[in-house]
Amino acid sequence: MKMRIIPYALCVMTLGLVACNPNYDMAGMFNGSSERADKRFDESMAYNEKAGYAHLIVPEEYRVYVCTDTHVDSTTHNLEQFVKRYKSDLQCPFALHLGDLVNANNNHEKFFKAVAGAAVGMPVGKDTMFYAVGNHDLYFNQWESYKRFVPTSTYWFDTRTSKGKLLDLYICLDSGEGTLGVKPLDWLRHVLEVKSQEGYRHIIVFTHTHMFKQDDSQGHTSNYSMEETYDITALLSQYHVNMYWSGHDHSREITHYGGVTYIVIDALEDPVEKPFYMVAEMGKNIHYDFVAIEK
Amino acid sequence: MRYRTLLLLLVLTAGRIFAADSTNWVLPEARYAITARVEYAYNKSWGHFANLDAQALLPINKHFEMNVNLQASFKNVYTAGVILRPKFTLPVGEMFFDTEVLYKAVLRANQMDLVTALSLGWRFDYLSVQIGSYARVMENYGREWNSEEAYNVEPFNLLYRLEVFVRPQSCNWNINIVFSDYDDFQFERMWQPLFMLGGRYDIDEHWRVHLDAECKPTGMFHLNAAFYAATVRAGFTYRF
């Protein structure tokens, strides 16, 4: 009788350990615990309307530092290195973080404290970081804590010269659910339709979830459904978006499809063996390179 | 040791357990059949829409059958699939090998999606399991075909299907529950499962009616999962 109980006990213990592990929002993986995409979009739009959209004055040629998947938990080494590097680069007016700022619950404060701490003593005025929300920022109903620091998940901003010449348009999407949702997809369509007429040099879309995975396709992480993949890729091609920057999969991949370059950037989290971030040189053309952070 | 013996007995008798009648567990012989169905569907990208399906089952001989699936969607998407299926009766259940080609003309997005799939399945009266792999090529219409940016290739995707029936196959009605990443008209990525619930009723020797529902969540396993799509299908089959 006692022997019979062992397999059941092992199953229960395994499930219990997984469920109690603070890194796994088991419920969120099957039924997301944060507000739904459309609700987050409404809140984001309300904020955007109040705060307005940013227009950054930059030189015609500048650099953008892009990182993703820092998954801040107990340590913040790689994140701090990244912040120090982009802030000490005088040609870099801003940086992007493509989501999964934190790993589990209650770490957003630690993340932003690390960003602020790393910035101490760095050149003034180089302190702009734009964020996309990732699935780990939404698990455990963390939209509530995320929006205390980043009140919008869907927005755009642009860069222009001091003489007012339009340069590049950046559009941030909330893809933490694997679908943009009904309203955000309409919003994207509308923004691209209007903005593509204004004569921007480049249009960049950045978000957390990757569009494609050619290498070991989808063996690692879930992304969009096929219907959404068809529609978003068609939209990006139609309005001549240059690049789609994403993270989520933790392994680098570059795909060219329909005139758009889709880049999945490596994870920057502390435990990974080879953390990388991307530096994009924005000029007449876009040149990008991946830079390692030494352990 | 006692547990090993029990496990061995379970494996050896699995077919009998899954079969309705332990003296006659062989699945009913496939017959030539044509099916027509209409679908109401909703997803967060395309909204509400309808599809029309036509399907044919062609059992060429005892060990080889063929399926042809056609679908026209009111969202300007057209799908055609062919399945070649060698099959063998085993002492326990029936084993089959699906070789499928599915072509989808996504005219609304000016793209096509071609999937080729290979899978191995084993079915019983109450259960059918299938596992395999598929490759996908997406291509933009109207772009230079030999340019790198014209197409996207996802060479390896896992294909899986688990189907449970509440009654034996020979009964004149049945209900099935399916967990899979593909159906007759779509192949989803590995982490994008489909949940299906279906029923059929044989009115007489020739006519059969179907009613099926399908739900597709998005972001399961690695994203903040949410509802994405639902489909309801109704139709009939004529068996020759």
Using a pLDDT cut of 70, give the percent of chain A over it. 85
**Does any CB of chain A come closer than 8 Å to the CB of residue B7?**
no
The Cβ of residue A75 has, within 10 Å, a number of other Cβ atoms equal to: 13
**Does any CB of chain B come closer than 8 Å to the CB of residue A230?**
yes
Under 8 Å CB pairs connecting chains A and B tally to: 156
The Cβ of residue A123 has, within 10 Å, a number of other Cβ atoms equal to: 11
pLDDT at B141: 87
Q: Which amino acid is at A69?
A: D
How does DSSP assign chain A, residue by residue? Answer: -HHHHHHHHHHHHHHHHHHH-TT--HHHHHS--SPPHHHHHHHHHHHHHHH--EEEE--SSEEEEEE----BSS--HHHHHHHHHHHH-TT--EEEE-S--BSSTT-HHHHHHHHHHHHTTSPTT---EEE---GGGTGGGTHHHHHHH---SSEEEEEE-TT--EEEEEEE---TTSS--HHHHHHHHHHHHHHTTS--SEEEEE-SS-S---TTTTSS-----HHHHHHHHHHHHHTT--EEEE-SSSS-EEEEETTEEEEEPPP--TTSSS-EEEEEEESSSEEEEEEE---
Question: Residue B22's pLDDT band (boundaries 50, 70, 90)?
Answer: very low
Query: Would you say domain A32-292 falls under CATH 3.60.21.10?
Result: yes
**Does any CB of chain B come closer than 8 Å to the CB of residue A2?**
no
Q: What's the whole-number average pLDDT of chain A?
A: 88
User: A233: nearest CA in chain B?
Assistant: B109
Instruction: Name the residue facing A178 among B148, B190, B223 (closest C-beta).
Output: B223
CA-CA distance, A96 to A182, in Å (whole number)?
25
* A33–B224 C-beta distance less than 8 A: yes
CA B92 to chain A, closest CA, distance in angstroms equals 28
* B157–A258 C-beta distance less than 8 A: no
Beta-carbon-side half-sphere exposure of residue A86 (alpha carbons within 13 Å): 31
* A32–B44 C-beta distance less than 8 A: no
- Prediction pTM value: 0.89
CA-CA distance, A270 to A111, in Å (whole number)?
13
* B138–A257 C-beta distance less than 8 A: yes
Chain B, 128 to 167: residues with Cβ < 8 Å from chain A are 136, 138, 140, 143, 148-158
Closest CA to A111 of A154, A155, A73: A73
The interface pTM score, or ipTM, of the predicted complex is 0.88
* B110–A221 C-beta distance less than 8 A: no
Q: Contacts of residue B183 in chain A, CB cutoff 8 Å?
A: none
Question: Residue B161's pLDDT band (boundaries 50, 70, 90)?
Answer: very high
Instruction: Name the residue facing A230 among B109, B192, B225 (closest C-beta).
Output: B109
Q: What are phi and psi of A109, to 5 degrees?
A: -65, -45
Q: Contacts of residue A237 in chain B, CB cutoff 8 Å?
A: 110, 140
CA-CA distance, B233 to A251, in Å (whole number)?
39
**Does any CB of chain B come closer than 8 Å to the CB of residue A226?**
yes
CA-CA distance, A129 to B197, in Å (whole number)?
47
pLDDT at A187: 97
**Does any CB of chain B come closer than 8 Å to the CB of residue A26?**
no
CA-CA distance, A134 to A208, in Å (whole number)?
5
**Does any CB of chain B come closer than 8 Å to the CB of residue A224?**
yes
pLDDT greater than 50 at residue B166: yes
Question: Residue B20's pLDDT band (boundaries 50, 70, 90)?
Answer: very low
**Does any CB of chain B come closer than 8 Å to the CB of residue A78?**
no
* pLDDT by 10s per residue, chain A, length 295: 455 566 566 656 665 555 555 666 766 667 777 778 889 999 999 999 999 999 999 999 999 999 999 999 989 999 999 999 999 999 999 999 999 999 988 889 999 999 888 777 665 555 589 999 999 999 888 999 999 999 999 999 999 999 999 999 999 999 998 899 889 999 999 999 999 999 999 999 999 999 998 876 556 688 999 999 999 999 999 999 999 999 999 989 999 999 999 999 999 999 888 899 999 999 999 999 999 998 7
* B191–A28 C-beta distance less than 8 A: no
Chain B, 218 to 237: residues with Cβ < 8 Å from chain A are 218-226, 228-229
Instruction: Name the residue facing A218 among B43, B106, B189 (closest C-beta).
Output: B189
* A28–B218 C-beta distance less than 8 A: no
Give me the mean pLDDT over the B158-166 stretch. Answer: 96
Closest CA to B207 of B232, B184, B233, B235: B235
Class of domain B2-239: mainly beta
User: B137: nearest CA in chain A?
Assistant: A214
CB A127 within 8 A of CB A119: yes
pLDDT tens figures, B58-115 = 999 989 999 999 999 999 999 999 999 999 999 889 999 999 999 999 999 999 999 9
First to last CA, chain A: 52
| Domain-wise residue ranges, chain A | 1-26, 32-292
* A37–B218 C-beta distance less than 8 A: no
Hey, what are B101's tokens? 């080609």
* A212–B192 C-beta distance less than 8 A: no
Closest CA to B131 of B156, B160, B157, B96: B160
pLDDT tens figures, B187-233 = 999 889 999 999 999 999 999 999 999 999 988 888 888 899 999 99
CB B75 within 8 A of CB B46: yes
pLDDT tens figures, A175-224 = 998 899 889 999 999 999 999 999 999 999 999 999 998 876 556 688 99
CA A263 to chain B, closest CA, distance in angstroms equals 13
Q: What are phi and psi of A118, to 5 degrees?
A: -70, -20
How does DSSP assign chain B, residue by residue? Answer: -HHHHHHHHHHHTHHHHHSS-TT--PPPPP--EEEEEEEEEEETTTEEEEEEEEEEEEEEETTEEEEEEEEEETTTEEEEEEEEEEEEE-SSSEEEEEEEEEEEEEGGGTEEEEEEEEEEEEE-SSEEEEEEEEEEEEEETTS-TTSGGGEEEEEEEEEEEEEEESS-TTSSEEEEEEEESEETTEE--TT--EEEEEEEEE-SSSEEEEEEEEEEEESTTTS--EEEEEEEEEEEEEE-
CA-to-CA dists, residue A53 to A185, A224, B58, angstroms: 19, 27, 60
First to last CA, chain B: 52
CA B54 to chain A, closest CA, distance in angstroms equals 21
User: A26: nearest CA in chain B?
Assistant: B221
Q: Contacts of residue A36 in chain B, CB cutoff 8 Å?
A: 226
pLDDT greater than 60 at residue B10: no
